[in-house]
Structure formats: structure tokens, C-alpha cells
Amino acid sequence: MRLAISTLLASSLAACDPAAGTDACGIPNDGLSMVATAVDNGVSIHAEVDFGEGARTGPPGSLALCDGDELTIAGEKPERTDRTDRVVYSASLDASAARVIEFMLKRDGEDDLAFAVELAPPFDITAPTSDQEVSRSSDFMLAWGPANDGAEIHIGLAEEIGYGICLETTTAEHDYKSEGGVVVDDKGSWNVPASVIDGGTRDKCDATYRLTRFTTPSYPAAFHSGGFLEGRVERFVAFVSVP
């Protein structure tokens, strides 16, 4: 997944009208659910959190914090972004920042809440190299490093243009274009056999491999259970698929 950072509409934690049901005012911590993510894309670390009420079984609501609430991410006051479906608080950190991203929420009349998203170790894709031509009719060894033995990594395949119609992956264990990609042991290499990626009669297809390491930290018990925490370390390499 490419990370698209939305336009930041405001830098303060503004209050909403409590009567409109669009803010957290009057909702105790155990009635709030939250989704917090941290993504290392190799250039920076983007951390964000949004808040909702209860289990979020319906459409996501736009739930803002109140004027008196204090939220920090990695010790920084976050930016507020009003998206069409929710209010997001985020911080962009240097790629060399600590691998444990700490969130702190202080609210009047409630206990202070601290939780963290720990990221997996960083890595680089070493094969293919950028813009390398990779034949579909030969085995290819996808490689990255350093490895993270004992863990898993997700391999995804996307196309730059053409709405994804140039390449097809129909073999289940090599369906890199599926939503979750293919999950393999994080040993630093993975063989992509000949012909599991099909381009039909097409000559060259511009494509991208996406490798992702996921972490799922423990969700804080003080919040409503309807949310989750997730960390992702994502790396991309653009290449050219040829017959």
C-alpha cells in the first residue's frame, strides 16, 4: 500500500459541537475505541490515530477530541486532518526515530492513557533493483535484507498503470496481486517460479513489488475493544516485467 498523506487542514485539537455527536466530549475512555497505526516507508515514519465510539459496527464516525484533551505522538503535538469519514491525528517522524512510537492521551476526569506501536526492523529490497527487467518465463529470486528469521513478510504486486490488467497471478500460493499478497517466511529471499506471473501476449509491464512487515501490538484495555493497533514496515521497488 502506498502511503498518501492527506492535506492537513488544522494544527490544533479543535472542539466540535457536543450536540452534533461529532466529538469525544462526555464519552469516557472505556466508551472510546481507537485505531492507531505507524508506518515506516523507508523515507519517514507516519504515525496516526483516530477515535470512535464503541465497537464501530456501522459507518465510521468523525469523532474529534475536545479542547481540554491533550494528545501527543512520540512526544509531539499531532496535526489534525478532517477526512470525509473521520478525524485523524498524525505526526511524521524521521526514519531514524525510535522503533517504538508512543502515544499519550490526557483527558479531564480520566486516567492518563499511554500506549505504543512497535515497528518491526527496517530492511531494503535488494532484488530486483529499480527499473530492472525481470523475465516472467524464468525463475526469479526476490531478495531483501536483513532478514527477520522467525517472522513473516507479505509480498504484494501492483501495476503502475492500466488498472492492473497487464499482469495476472492465478496460482494460489503465488497470487501476489491479491489483497493481502502472499505471506512467506522472512528469510531474506523468495523464489518466484517461471510462469506464475502471466502477461499474456503483452511485452513490457511496469510493475512494483511491495514487501511489508506487520506488527500487531496489544490493544490497551482501558479503551473500548472496538479498535486495534498496527505497525507496518513497507518497501517498494519498481521494475519492468518482460516475457
Given a cut of 50, the residues of the chain with pLDDT beneath it are 1-20
- Is the domain spanning 124-214+237-242 CATH 1.10.3470? The answer is no
Q: How far apart are CA 115 and CA 112, in angstroms?
A: 10
Give the domain ranges of the chain. Answer: 18-119, 124-214+237-242
What topology does CATH give the domain 18-119? Immunoglobulin-like (2.60.40)
Q: Which of 209, 222, 212, 100 is nearest to 158 (CA)?
A: 209
Among 228, 236, 233, which residue's Cα sits nearest to residue 214?
Answer: 233
pLDDT at 93: 97
Cell (9 digits) for 212 = 511489508
**Phi, psi at 162, each rounded to 5°:** 85, 15
Answer yes or no: pTM beyond 0.95. Answer: no
In CATH terms, are 18-119 and 124-214+237-242 the same topology?
A: yes
Q: What per-residue string of b and e applies to 47-63 under the rule 16 or more CB within 10 Å gives b?
A: bbbbbbeeebeeeebbb
Q: What was the pLDDT predicted at 165?
A: 80
CB atoms within 10 A of CB 149: 9
